Amino acid sequence: MKHYKPTFQCEIKGVAETQNLSIEQDTKEAKAGIVTTAGEVTGYKVKASPRLLDRWLDTVIRIAGSAPIFCFIVGALLVWAFLGIRFGKSAKWTAVISDVQAILCYVFDSFLMRQLLREYSEQREAMAEMKSRRDSHERMLGKLKNKLGPEGVHRVSQISGNRPLDALDQGTRTQGWFARMIIFSAWAFGHIITVGMYWVCIFIWLGFGHYCGWTDQWQLYINSATSALMVLVFAFLDCLRECYADYVNNCLDAIFRLDATLEKELRCITDDHLPNEPEVIQPPRENPLQVAVFYYADIIGTLVGIMILIAVIVAWAAVGPVFHFNNNWWLLIGTYAGLIGLFDSFILRNIQGKVKEYTVCQIQSLEKRDMTLFAKTQMAIPPKDNFDTSSVTHRISIAMGNVCSHLLMVVAGFLLTIGCVIGSSAMRWSTTGQLISNIPPSIIETFFMLILITGQNDADASARVDMTNIYHRRQRLLWFVKDAREYLAVRPESADLAEKGDN
């Protein structure tokens, strides 16, 4: 039996598909030893999981992040809110939303973690394939440089360096109205002002504590409010991440097609038939505590976590007659799922931060390798689009996100969860005791979900800039190759002299 490794501890191997396509050749270019390509190039393909259960889970997650499911959840929340006009004073009415929220959020925890694990694997595989093709570019650009000669390289680079670059709008053009609405709303949900308003509401609720006599009903008010908000935020996050994944995949497809076209043109000019070599990306080195978090994240992001929840729900239903289906019994499942959800929220933010950190690291590595390609062409790298972080609110958001994603916050979340269990146990898990394990976790988990939206917005904006820079670099290189082909077609004799001189 092979030793099990979590997703973050596995090496990623990728190889770009070699562009061996049909070619066409005219008389003039044949004399120059140049061919033009015909046929479609290979775009970006998302690899399906080899395991059936994983493919099934990915399908369920995509359905959960769709417009109909989101609208259904919003509609259900509105129905619950209007029913509160009639049943608002009933403890069961408040307990129901708490239980539904806890169970739904527990499930969405698994969905969100699965999305993060999938994003990590897919983006690193994409980086591995781009690096694999880049190595072939370097080999063939060396041949093209020899074919052009010093004068030819200089002339072609002057022409290509002034060519216009197209914007990377593939992801935006393919977005529907629902995706645009979700992404626009995400900036409002994840804004630092929204997070601040959330805490203002919490302090207002605390201010009414003395007036309400610190009763269980007063506690249930905030429990119901945060529960409803959390259901909305979790459903919103699932939709947002699916929209983000679609955007990234469409942009990667445009980049891959451009990169494959560059490879195809280079192969035609240089008559290179060597296949692209595989690229292996080693897993990042982390301390044992972070590795333990990776193992736990793998449990959440697979069917194991959901199976555990199903087993707990069955056990909870089985003990219903023992509790005579009283208020304590109604709160029990919400308490369990709420405590687990509290800890999972710390894990989610940590993993989200790690995914972005590792992705940025790979993009920087690709950029450094691309500098070698531009050195061969004597062209300057296209000016980089930079992610604007000049505003005060944005700097605060980034700082807050960095603090919340730190490994020590996971430790703090674990200690807080244990503290809630101890407090509830000291009160013999009465209604008030269970509310201790419901309300603080609910408040903190909702805050972390808002921070997750902030982090997703940050990752989205950063990815747009990074992919645009990669796209522009590939465009500039493709212009160089196309201009070199035209130069060689017009000046075949200079190419022959250059090749003889090199020999």
The answer, yes or no, to whether residue 480 has pLDDT greater than 60, is yes
Q: Contact, 436 vs 223, CB < 8 A?
A: no
Query: pLDDT band at residue 307, thresholds of 50, 70 and 90?
Result: confident
Residue 18: closest CA among 372, 278, 366, 270: 278
Residue 352: closest CA among 410, 308, 392, 311: 410
477-480: list long-range contacts, CB under 8 Å, 24+ apart: 477/137, 477/141, 477/262, 477/373, 477/374, 477/377, 478/258, 478/261, 478/262, 478/265, 479/160, 479/163, 480/156, 480/157, 480/160, 480/377, 480/379
Identify any residues that bridge with 24 across adjacent strands, giving them in sequence order.
36
Lowest mean pLDDT among 140-144, 169-173, 255-259, 416-420: 169-173
User: pTM above the 0.85 mark?
Assistant: yes
Query: What are the structure tokens assigned to 67, written together?
Result: 């417009």
Q: What is the pLDDT of residue 224?
A: 84
Containing 168, the helix (H) or strand (E) segment is none
Q: What is the pLDDT of residue 477?
A: 94
Domain residue limits at 163: 7-502
Q: Contact, 131 vs 369, CB < 8 A?
A: yes
Would 82 be classed as within a structural domain? Answer: yes
Please compute the mean of the pLDDT values over residues 157-171 and round it to a whole number: 85
Please compute the mean of the pLDDT values over residues 335-347 and round it to a whole number: 87
The answer, yes or no, to whether residue 34 has pLDDT greater than 70, is no
pLDDT (tens digit per residue) in 48-107 = 888 888 888 889 999 999 999 999 999 999 998 888 888 777 767 777 777 787 788 888
Q: What is the pLDDT of residue 388?
A: 67
Query: pLDDT band at residue 459, thresholds of 50, 70 and 90?
Result: confident
Please compute the mean of the pLDDT values over residues 372-399 and round it to a whole number: 80
Place of tokens 């200690």: 415
Which amino acid, one-letter code, is at 395?
A: R
The answer, yes or no, to whether residue 183 has pLDDT greater than 50, is yes
Q: Average pLDDT, whole number, for the chain?
A: 85
What is the rounded distance in angstroms from the CA atom of residue 72 to the CA atom of residue 144? 58
Would 217 be classed as within a structural domain? Answer: yes
Would 460 be classed as within a structural domain? Answer: yes
DSSP for 16-57, please give it.
PPP----EE--HHHHHHT--EE-SPPP---PPPPSSHHHHHH
pLDDT (tens digit per residue) in 255-288 = 999 999 999 999 999 888 899 999 999 998 899 9
216-270 helix and 177-189 helix, angle to the nearest 10 degrees: 120
User: Could you tell me what percent of the chain has a pLDDT over 90?
Assistant: 39
Give backbone dihedrals phi and psi of 196, rounded to 5 degrees, phi first: -65, -40
Task: Compute how many other C-beta atoms are within 10 angstroms of the C-beta atom of residue 14.
Answer: 20
Report how far apart, in Å, the C-alpha atoms of 324 and of each of 313, 333, 441, 483 are: 16, 15, 26, 81
Would 462 be classed as within a structural domain? Answer: yes
What is the rounded distance in angstroms from the CA atom of residue 487 to the CA atom of residue 485? 5
Residue 293: closest CA among 342, 354, 356, 362: 354
b/e per residue 42-72 (b: at least 16 CB within 10 A): bbbeeeeeeeeebeebbebbbebbeeeebee
Q: What is the pLDDT of residue 412?
A: 94
Would 1 be classed as within a structural domain? Answer: no
The answer, yes or no, to whether residue 28 has pLDDT greater than 50, is no
Report how far apart, in Å, the C-alpha atoms of 196 and of each of 58, 186, 249, 392 are: 34, 16, 33, 14
What is the rounded distance in angstroms from the CA atom of residue 226 to the CA atom of residue 202? 10
The answer, yes or no, to whether residue 403 has pLDDT greater than 50, is yes
pLDDT (tens digit per residue) in 112-140 = 999 999 999 999 999 999 999 999 999 99
Query: What are the structure tokens assigned to 189, written together?
Result: 């949900």
Q: What is the pLDDT of residue 85?
A: 83
Task: Compute how many other C-beta atoms are within 10 angstroms of the C-beta atom of residue 357.
Answer: 11
Give backbone dihedrals phi and psi of 281, rounded to 5 degrees, phi first: -105, 120
Task: Compute how many other C-beta atoms are within 10 angstroms of the C-beta atom of residue 474.
Answer: 27
Give the count of alpha carbons within 13 A of 248, CB side only: 23
What is the rounded distance in angstroms from the CA atom of residue 66 to the CA atom of residue 235? 9
Place of tokens 């729900």: 313
Query: pLDDT band at residue 290, thresholds of 50, 70 and 90?
Result: very high
Query: What are the structure tokens assigned to 39, written together?
Result: 């046929």
- Structural domains in the chain (count): 1
Query: pLDDT band at residue 21, thresholds of 50, 70 and 90?
Result: low
Q: How many helices (H) and strands (E) does the chain have?
A: 17, 4
Would 106 be classed as within a structural domain? Answer: yes
Report how far apart, in Å, the C-alpha atoms of 410 and of each of 111, 210, 344, 421 are: 19, 33, 9, 17
Q: What is the pLDDT of residue 346?
A: 93
Please compute the mean of the pLDDT values over residues 362-386 and round it to a whole number: 87
DSSP for 360-399, please give it.
HHHHHHHHHHHHHHHHHHT-PPPPPP-----SHHHHHHHH
What is the rounded distance in angstroms from the CA atom of residue 305 to the CA atom of residue 340? 11
Residue 182: closest CA among 123, 134, 241, 226: 241
Query: What are the structure tokens assigned to 219, written together?
Result: 């506690």
Please compute the mean of the pLDDT values over residues 285-307 and round it to a whole number: 88
Q: What is the pLDDT of residue 29?
A: 40
Would 428 be classed as within a structural domain? Answer: yes
Task: Compute how many other C-beta atoms are within 10 angstroms of the C-beta atom of residue 253.
Answer: 18
Query: What are the structure tokens assigned to 256, written together?
Result: 């891959």
Give backbone dihedrals phi and psi of 12, rounded to 5 degrees, phi first: -110, 125
What is the rounded distance in angstroms from the CA atom of residue 472 to the CA atom of residue 165? 6
Please compute the mean of the pLDDT values over residues 154-159 and round it to a whole number: 90
Would 2 be classed as within a structural domain? Answer: no
Residue 456: closest CA among 445, 464, 468: 464
User: Could you tell me what percent of the chain has a pLDDT over 70?
Assistant: 92
